[in-house]
């Protein structure tokens, strides 16, 4: 044992340091928030309630019903029902999320090649009824209007998802027929 360690032991230095720390915290203000009277704004990119992105031009969902999000979902809580429209185009008849099963991993957001599904910052949606947590396409679009439309939605994609979609842009074909990957 060194002299320094011996002095520490004799004078209970570490115990005194611990007590000093406790005393210091006795007189600092508490950090507990008195929810729900005191609320904190969700951070950008928080993983709250889902929304389906509404296309500003068409006013309809951006989703094309490819099913990638449902395939990636580890909880298997996304249900998509499509039919065939004009020119064999897929029509999304129903898009539903059973939010009670969701683990908020955001794999669905990451998998979507069209930026058509998001997790909003809204987290206050408790209810007494299980059905309230089964979100239909219409309700998911309403969530977009309420919580993400405008600048918020733009920021969400630019800050968190845009770099990824840019990394996987479309290849271009030159005049000589060479294919250039981005
Ligand atoms: S956040 Fe994860 S668990 Fe929830 S719907 Fe998306 S992929 Fe499924
Ligand atoms: S939300 Fe995206 S990944 Fe899911 S079905 Fe629609 S377009 Fe495809």
Provide the CATH number for the domain around residue 150.
3.30.70.3270
- Domain presence at residue 148: yes
- Edge to edge, the sheet with strand 78-84 lists 78-84, 90-98, 134-135
100 Rama sector, left if φ>0, alpha if ψ -120 to 50, beta otherwise: alpha
Residue 112 lies in a domain: yes
Tell whether 24 is covered by a domain.
Answer: no
Neighbour count for residue 104 (Cβ, 10 Å):
14
Is residue 70 in a domain? yes
Separation of 144 CA from ligand 2 center, angstroms? 15
Place of tokens 């509404």: 54
Instruction: Classify residue 176: in a domain, yes or no.
Output: no
- Binding site membership of 118 for ligand 2 (Cβ less than 6 Å): no
Which band of pLDDT confidence, cut at 50, 70 and 90, is reported for residue 153? Answer: confident
DSSP 148: I
pLDDT, one tens digit per residue, over 89-125 is: 899 999 999 999 999 999 999 999 899 999 999 999 9
Residue 11 lies in a domain: no
**10-14, 69-73, 99-103: segment of lowest average pLDDT:** 10-14
User: Could you tell me if residue 178 is inside a domain?
Assistant: no
Report whether pLDDT(181) > 60. no
**Pocket test residue of 73, 95, 123 for ligand 1, highest count of atoms within 8 A of CB:** 73
Q: Is residue 81 part of a domain?
A: yes
Name the residue range of residue 59's domain.
50-166
> Domain count of the chain?
1
Q: Which whole number is the average pLDDT over 45-52?
A: 93
Reading the block at residue 50, the tokens are: 């889902």
């Amino acid at each position: 044992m060194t002299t320094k360690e011996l002095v520490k032991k004799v004078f209970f230095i570490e115990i005194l340091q611990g007590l000093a720390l406790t005393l210091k915290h006795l007189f600092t203000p508490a950090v507990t928030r008195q929810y729900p009277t005191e609320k904190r704004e969700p951070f950008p990119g928080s993983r709250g309630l889902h929304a389906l992105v509404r296309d500003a031009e068409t006013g309809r969902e951006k989703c094309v019903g490819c099913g990638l999000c449902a395939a990636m979902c580890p909880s298997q809580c996304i249900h998509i029902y499509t039919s065939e429209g004009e020119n064999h185009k897929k029509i999304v008849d129903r898009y539903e999320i059973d939010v009670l099963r969701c683990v908020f991993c955001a794999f669905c957001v990451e998998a979507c090649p069209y930026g058509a599904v998001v997790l909003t910052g809204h987290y206050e949606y408790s209810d007494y009824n299980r059905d309230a947590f089964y979100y239909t396409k219409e309700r998911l679009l309403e969530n977009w209007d309420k919580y993400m439309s405008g600048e918020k939605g733009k920021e969400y994609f630019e800050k968190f998802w845009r770099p990824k979609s840019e990394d996987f842009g479309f290849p271009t074909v030159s005049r000589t027929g060479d294919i250039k990957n981005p």
